Structure 1
Amino acid sequence: MMFDGDGGAWLGIDLGTQSVRALLVTGDGRVLGAGTAPLAGRRDGVRHEQDPGEWWEAVCEASRAALTEQPRLRLRLGGLAVCGTSGTVLLTDGAGRPLTPGVMYDDGRAVAEATRVGMQTSWALPKALWLLEAYGGGRVTHQPDVITARLTGGGTVPTDSSHALKTGYDVEREAWPPQLAHLGDVLPEVVRPGTRLGEVCGVAAEATGIPVGTPVIAGMTDGCAAQIASGALYEGSWNSVLGTTLVLKGASASPVRDSAGVVYNHRAPDGSWLPGGASSVGAGALPAGADPVEMDRLAAEYEPSGALAYPLTSPGERFPFLAPDATAFTLGTPASDADRWAAVLQGVAFTERLCLDYLHHLGAPIDGPLTFTGGAARSAYWNQLRADILGRPARVPEQVEPALGMAVLAAHSGTGAGLVDTADRMVRIRTVLEPRRSRTARFAEPYARLVDELESRGWLPAPVATHTRRRLNQDTPHS
C-alpha cells in the first residue's frame, strides 16, 4: 500500500465523556484503523468524576485496536496528539501521578469558587480551586496531560493553551495572568497546540502498541479538535456542532471581542484565533423514544410548524446571549407529535441563525464556508432544514470525530505544513447543501417572532435584536 506525502500515517486520540476513540489516518485523509474503549463515570447529583487510571487503560485498548493493521502495512507513524473534554481537571504529584479523581467539565460543586473568579462552574479554574481546598495541594493538571505524561514517561508535561484557557490562562499574552500568581508552581507550564512534548517511551509502547519514539504532540480541547476535523479553519468559516447542545466555532485573524462574555477565543497553533460559543439548545430537547427517521419524514409536512419553540435542554442560556434564568418555552399548541418534533428542529435552527447574527453584531467574520458536524448531522432532513432557515450553503464532512482533528494536528506538526493546508488534504466533504430560497422566505416570519419573544422576556439585549431584524430585512429572499 502506498501513502502520499510523508509516506506514513498519524494517530489522533479523543478522550470523550463516555469513551476513548483512536483513529489512524493517512496524510490524504484515509482512515486505516479505528479503536474505541468505554469509560465509566461516577455521578451523584451535581458530582461527576472519572478515574484517571481508566483513561489510560482505555487509551491502551483503543490505540491497540486502531493500530492492528500497522505492522502488516509497514507504515511509519509520524506522530500523535490527544484531545480531552474542556474544563476537566485533577491534581497530580510532582511525578505526574494522579492525586484526585478527574473532576469532569459538567461537575457542579465549585459554585462558590465560580462566583469568586467570575466564571461558569463548567470552566476548569473554579474546579481547580475547589480541588486544592478539598485535597490540600497538588499540581493542576488537565485531562490529556495525564495521557501525554504516561506516553512520554517524563513525569509532568506542559499543558496546551487550548485546555488551559478555561483555567484562566491568558491566550493573548500567552502567560498566566497576575491574579493567579499566588498559585505559583501549582499551575502547569503552557505551550501552544502542535508543540512537540516528547516521544513514546518503551513502557508506553508495550502498553499501547504505539511504536517507541513516536512524537507526542500537544493537542487541543475536543471542541477545537472537532473544528479541525470539519476543516473550518479559513478566516470567516464556521463549524456548527449540533449534538445534545449547539456549539459554533469559527476562524478569525484576530480575537472576537465580546464584553458580555458570551463568545470566547481559543488560540490556533499558527497564532490565529478560533472564536466560539456554546448554546443550551439542541437535540437533547427532542422527545425521547421516538424513531428520528420516521419523525423527520412526518415533520416535513409542518414547514413552518404551528408552534414556535425555544428548545433549551436545561435552564439557562450561554449563547447567543447570557441569561441564567432562561427557560425553554413553546408558543402555540402543536397539532401532532410530528408538529412538536418539527417545532424543536426549527427552534434549534432559529437559535443557530441568531448565533450567527450575534457574531455579525460583534463584527466577527462569518462569510466563509459553514460546516455541519455533531450527531445531528446524521439527519439529512435536519441538515437541509438548517441550511434553508439560515439561508446559506453548508457542508457535511465524511468524518467528523475529534480524533481526526488530532490526527490532522499531529500531521501539521510533523510535516511543517500549514494547519489549513493539512486539513484541506485530510478532511473529506461528503455533502454540500444549498438553501432553497422559497423555504428561507417561509421561515422569516417565525424567526422574527422568536427574536421578538426573546427580547420581550429580557433575555436578548435590544441592540442585538435590532441588529438581527435589520439583517433579516436585508437578507431574506421573497418568494
Structure 2
Amino acid sequence: MANSSPTVTIGLDCGTGGARAMVCDLDGRVLATASRDYATTFPRPGWATQSPAEWWQAACGAVREAVERSGVSIGQVAAICADGTSSTLVMLGENGEPLADAILWMDNRASPQARRIEQSGHPALRRSRAGVSAETAIPKILWLRDNDPDLFRQTRWFMELADYIALRLSNRLTLGQNHTINRWFFDPRRGGWPEDFFEAIGLAGITTRFPDHMPILGAPIGLLSAEAAAALGLTTETLVVCGGTDAYVATVGLNTLRPGETALITGTSHLVLPTVDDDVEIAGLFGPHPDCVAPGCFVMEGGQVSSGAVLRWWHDLFQDASPGRIEDMIRAAQTVPLGANGLMALDFWQGNRNPYTDYDLQGAIWGMTLKHSRADITRALLESVCMGTANILGCMERHGVAVRSMTAAGAALRSPFWLQMHADTAGVKLRIPEVGEATAFGAAIAAAVGVGAYGSLQAAADRMVWIKDEISPDPERHAEYRVLMELYLDTYSALQPLMHRMAQRNRSSPQPMPA
C-alpha cells in the first residue's frame, strides 16, 4: 500500500561508476535511493569509454528500485531530472541511436587537439585561461575529425551524457546550457556560439550538429515518453526537467549558489567550485562561467581528474589477493604518520586539469624502500589528492579568490579521517551537509523547480538543504602539510619533463586498435 507522502521528485545522477536515483519530497527529505553500476573500458593508455545502452539500463533499474523503496505511488512522482559526468561525448546518428561507445570525460586522447585549439589564441578561450582541457567535448570532436573521419561524418548529433538521458526520458533532443557554458564555449552574454572560433580551429559549421533546443538548468523539457515510462515504471504524467554537469548540479544540492560560497565535490574526481560575482579570469582555473547555475552569478572551477579513481585503482589491484572495502584500506592508512613515512605521490593518473591543465602528466610515487607497506602507499595517495586540492585553492588565493570554508559532498564524506586531512592540508573549514549525495540531490531540487514547486534554484535550495556539521583544520598538522606541499610542488617541477617524454613515447608507439 502506498503511503500518503507529499508529491515527490527524482534526481538521477549518472556518474562515472553508475547511475543513482534519489526520491525526495518537496521539503528536502530523502525517501529512498538506489544505484546500478556500469563499466568503463580503457582501450588504450589515456582512453576511457562507456556504453550509452548500459547507462540507460542502469538508470531504469535504479529509478524502479528507488521508487519501490520510497513507498510512494507512481502518480506522486511529479518530475525527474538527470545530471551526468561532464564532457562525456555521445555521437548519435540520424535516427538518434548511438553510433559508438561514448568518449568518457576522463579520456585524454584529444590532448594534441586541445593544444592546437589553445594555440589559436581566439577570444572565445577567455574562460580557459588555465588552458584548453583535453577532457572537454570540442577537442574530442576535433579528434574524431582527425582520427576517425567515418564516425565524424556519420554523426548527426553531438551531445553530453545528461542530454542523452533526457532524450531517452522525453524523446526530445536538447543540449543543456549548463554544460555548454562551462564546457562547450557557449556564452549567453556574448552572442551564444562563437562560430568564427569553430571555423578557426577546423570545425566550421559544427553547431548545425548540436541540438538547437538549449534549456537552462531546472527548465522543463517535456513529459516522459510512453516507452520511457514503461521502462522506468512511472507514468507519462511525470515531467522531465533539464539537468547538467554533475558537479555543477551538486552546487544546488549544497546550496553554494551565492557569491562567497564554495563547493568541494569529491568522488572519482574532485572539483572546487566557488560562486563569485565578478567576471575576472584566473590563470590556472576555468571560468568564470556566467549564469550556468544561478542567474547573475559566475562559477569558477578548479578540478582534479583522478582523485577517488586513484584509490579505486589502488584498491582493485589487490582485490583478488586481499579482498576488502576501500574503507578498510583507508582505515589501515590511519595508522601511518603524517607524511606517509617518507613517501610522496602526485595525483595525475589521468593528467592534471588544474592548475596546470596538462594531460601529458602521469601519476607518480617516490621515496619507496623495502620497509614501506601497502598502508604507507595508501596514505601517500590520500595525501596527494589533498595536496592537489590545496594547490588549486592556493592558485585561487593568489588571484584574489580566498576560500575560507567549503561545503563538501561525495565519496570522501564516508571517511572522517580523509575529510580531516583535506581540512588540515588546505587550512580550510569544511561544512558537512545533511544529504551528502549532493549531485542526485541537486537534480531532485532542480526537478522541484522545473515542476513549479519553487520559483528559483536558490529558493528551493534555501528550503531543502541543511548543514549538519563542520570540520576545522588542525593548526599543527596544517603547518606540517605546508612543508610537504613544497615537496609536492618540487616533485611536479622535477618530473614534468620526463612525463612529457613518456606521453610522447606512448602516443608514437604503435598499438593495435580494439576490435
With normalisation by structure 1, the TM-score equals: 0.82
Q: Which residue of 2 aligns with 1:218?
A: 242
User: Superposed, which structure 2 residues align to 1:307-386 within 5 Å?
Assistant: 307=342, 309-314=344-349, 316-324=351-359, 326-329=361-364, 332=367, 336-337=372-373, 338-364=375-401, 366-367=403-404, 369-386=405-422
**Counterpart secondary structure, 1:67:** helix
Cα distance change on mapping 1:302 and 1:396 into 2, 3 Å: same
CA shift, 1:305, in A, is 4.4
Tell me if the contact between 1:387 and 1:393 (Cα under 8 Å) persists in the aligned partners. yes
Cα distance change on mapping 1:55 and 1:352 into 2, 3 Å: closer
State the AA in 1 paired with 2:347: L
State yes or no: 1:78 paired with 2:78: yes
Q: Which residue of 1 aligns with 2:168?
A: 150
Q: Which residue of 1 aligns with 2:129?
A: none
Q: Which residue of 1 aligns with 2:228?
A: 204
Q: Which residue of 1 aligns with 2:502?
A: none
Cα distance change on mapping 1:378 and 1:256 into 2, 3 Å: farther
Q: Which residue of 1 aligns with 2:31?
A: 32
CA shift, 1:259, in A, is 3.9
Which residue, out of 482, 485, 490, partners 1:444? 482
> In 2, Cα distance between the equivalents of 1:261 and 1:246?
14
**Counterpart secondary structure, 1:382:** helix
> In 1, Cα distance between the equivalents of 2:228 and 2:184?
28
State yes or no: 1:429 paired with 2:467: yes
CA deviations 1:103-125 (Å, max 9, x no partner) are 32233444554344334331111
Which residue, out of 285, 296, 301, partners 1:276? 301
> In 2, Cα distance between the equivalents of 1:389 and 1:214?
45
CA shift, 1:325, in A, is 5.2
Q: Which residue of 2 aligns with 1:239?
A: 263
Tell me if the contact between 2:12 and 2:19 (Cα under 8 Å) persists in the aligned partners. yes
Cα distance change on mapping 1:173 and 1:348 into 2, 3 Å: same
Tell me if the contact between 2:134 and 2:359 (Cα under 8 Å) persists in the aligned partners. no
CA shift, 1:380, in A, is 1.3
State the AA in 1 paired with 2:263: N
Point out where structure 2 has 5 or more consecutive residues left out of the alignment. 119-131, 199-203, 498-515
CA shift, 1:278, in A, is 1.6
CA deviations 1:136-176 (Å, max 9, x no partner) are 1412222222222232234x234333256423323543611
**Counterpart secondary structure, 2:96:** coil
CA shift, 1:359, in A, is 0.9
State the AA in 2 paired with 1:198: G
Which residue, out of 150, 158, 161, partners 1:134? 150
**Counterpart secondary structure, 1:28:** coil
> In 2, Cα distance between the equivalents of 1:99 and 1:315?
25
**Counterpart secondary structure, 1:415:** coil
Tell me if the contact between 1:308 and 1:347 (Cα under 8 Å) persists in the aligned partners. no
**Counterpart secondary structure, 1:366:** coil
**Counterpart secondary structure, 1:168:** coil
CA shift, 1:408, in A, is 1.3
> In 2, Cα distance between the equivalents of 1:62 and 1:352?
31
State yes or no: 1:188 paired with 2:224: no
Tell me if the contact between 1:277 and 1:320 (Cα under 8 Å) persists in the aligned partners. yes
> In 2, Cα distance between the equivalents of 1:77 and 1:295?
39
> In 2, Cα distance between the equivalents of 1:430 and 1:16?
25
Cα distance change on mapping 1:208 and 1:298 into 2, 3 Å: closer
Q: Which residue of 1 aligns with 2:186?
A: 169
**Counterpart secondary structure, 1:210:** coil
Tell me if the contact between 1:279 and 1:318 (Cα under 8 Å) persists in the aligned partners. yes
> In 2, Cα distance between the equivalents of 1:331 and 1:150?
47
**Counterpart secondary structure, 2:276:** coil
**Counterpart secondary structure, 2:231:** helix
Tell me if the contact between 1:243 and 1:375 (Cα under 8 Å) persists in the aligned partners. yes
Tell me if the contact between 1:260 and 1:322 (Cα under 8 Å) persists in the aligned partners. yes
Q: Which residue of 2 aligns with 1:13?
A: 12
Matched positions, count: 454
CA deviations 1:194-240 (Å, max 9, x no partner) are 22111223332222223222221111111212333333333222222
Cα distance change on mapping 1:52 and 1:431 into 2, 3 Å: same
Tell me if the contact between 1:200 and 1:212 (Cα under 8 Å) persists in the aligned partners. yes
**Counterpart secondary structure, 1:445:** helix
Moved more, 15-24 or 441-450: 441-450
Cα distance change on mapping 1:115 and 1:250 into 2, 3 Å: same
Cα distance change on mapping 1:410 and 1:256 into 2, 3 Å: farther
CA shift, 1:58, in A, is 2.7
With normalisation by structure 2, the TM-score equals: 0.77
Q: Which residue of 2 aligns with 1:160?
A: 177
State the AA in 1 paired with 2:205: H
> In 2, Cα distance between the equivalents of 1:405 and 1:113?
33
Cα distance change on mapping 1:422 and 1:282 into 2, 3 Å: same
> In 2, Cα distance between the equivalents of 1:43 and 1:458?
24
> In 2, Cα distance between the equivalents of 1:76 and 1:246?
35
Tell me if the contact between 1:307 and 1:330 (Cα under 8 Å) persists in the aligned partners. no
Q: Which residue of 1 aligns with 2:337?
A: 302
Cα distance change on mapping 1:309 and 1:112 into 2, 3 Å: closer
Tell me if the contact between 2:284 and 2:395 (Cα under 8 Å) persists in the aligned partners. no
State the AA in 2 paired with 1:408: I
Tell me if the contact between 1:316 and 1:325 (Cα under 8 Å) persists in the aligned partners. yes
Cα distance change on mapping 1:255 and 1:364 into 2, 3 Å: farther
Tell me if the contact between 1:148 and 1:157 (Cα under 8 Å) persists in the aligned partners. yes
* Identity among equivalent pairs (%): 25
> In 1, Cα distance between the equivalents of 2:42 and 2:339?
39
> In 2, Cα distance between the equivalents of 1:253 and 1:371?
18
Point out where structure 1 has 5 or more consecutive residues left out of the alignment. 460-479
> In 2, Cα distance between the equivalents of 1:404 and 1:216?
16
State yes or no: 1:117 paired with 2:133: no
